[in-house]
Amino acid sequence: MFWNKRKKESEESLTQGVRLVAYYEPKNVISEQVRTVRTNIEFAGAALDKLQVVMFTSAEMSDGKSTVAANVAVTWAQAGKHVLLVDSDMRRPTLDKTFDLINAQGLSTVLSTDKNPGDIIHSTFVQNLDVLTSGPVPPNPAELLGSKHMASFIEYARANYDIVILDATPVLAVSDVQVSLPQVDGVVVVVRMEKTLKGNVKRTLEILKMSDAKVLGVVERVKSKRGDAGYGYGYGYGYGYGYGETK
């Protein structure tokens, strides 16, 4: 029953997108929690030379990384930052459905052609927030994400936006995250309480550490006790936060 429910929610995100609580219900307690996540990311990033390109990932599928990434992006835009949200999960994209956009062209187009990213990036109904959808599913996502075209795209994004957020694939599923890490300033790992296996979270953090990634923290996504469709968010720093140290 539990896993069937999780599967249904995962399928809904793929066909309908994720819920933008921070935009549609800005006074909701969940929206405040997302703003707290954003603030904590900024505090964690203060120790870095720069914090402009942030990757959101997870250990497993259906942990809620796309929901957290999209809602944090909204709160950054609401705070006056010019934000670009990129769907770099070209295998299971959701942002086109979330923002009701056509996905005929997107990141895969940028990385496989000479087209200007500015001609493919979409403005959205959220002020200050632009989105680059995943584009058509390519046969070689990891190769594209690790290519010089990806480096050029990130350079373009840095020059034109205050904050760039990558909604990436789960770390343990494929190698897409590892090849993308050289282009990002920090990584946020999303886990889902009572669903994500602790061993998988530990392994994910070990992989990120071996890749010299700057892990900004772990976001715990917890089912609301009110029984509605909402979720609570907790935020923890570093590699621990209840999942065992990786050192």
Provide the residue-wise pLDDT of the chain in tens; the chain has 247 residues: 433 444 444 445 556 789 999 999 999 988 999 999 999 999 999 988 999 999 999 988 888 899 999 999 999 999 999 999 999 999 999 999 999 999 999 999 999 999 999 999 999 999 999 999 999 999 999 999 999 999 999 999 999 999 999 999 999 888 889 999 999 999 999 988 777 788 888 899 999 999 999 999 999 877 655 444 445 555 544 433 333 343 3
Q: With respect to residue 217, please indicate whether it lies within any of the assigned structural domains.
A: yes
For the chain, counts of helices (H) and of strands (E): 10, 8
Q: With respect to residue 207, please indicate whether it lies within any of the assigned structural domains.
A: yes
Tally the domains of the chain.
1
CATH of the domain at 208: 3.40.50.300
pLDDT for residue 12: 52
- Helix ranges (H only) for 17-147 are 21-24, 29-45, 65-78, 95-98, 107-112, 141-145
pLDDT for residue 235: 52
Q: With respect to residue 245, please indicate whether it lies within any of the assigned structural domains.
A: no
Q: With respect to residue 230, please indicate whether it lies within any of the assigned structural domains.
A: no
Q: With respect to residue 143, please indicate whether it lies within any of the assigned structural domains.
A: yes
Domain boundaries, position 166: 2-225
Q: With respect to residue 34, please indicate whether it lies within any of the assigned structural domains.
A: yes
CA dihedral 11, 100, 31, 202 (to 10 degrees): 40
Q: With respect to residue 154, please indicate whether it lies within any of the assigned structural domains.
A: yes
Q: Which two tokens stand for residue 218?
A: 């772990």
Q: With respect to residue 141, please indicate whether it lies within any of the assigned structural domains.
A: yes
pLDDT for residue 198: 83
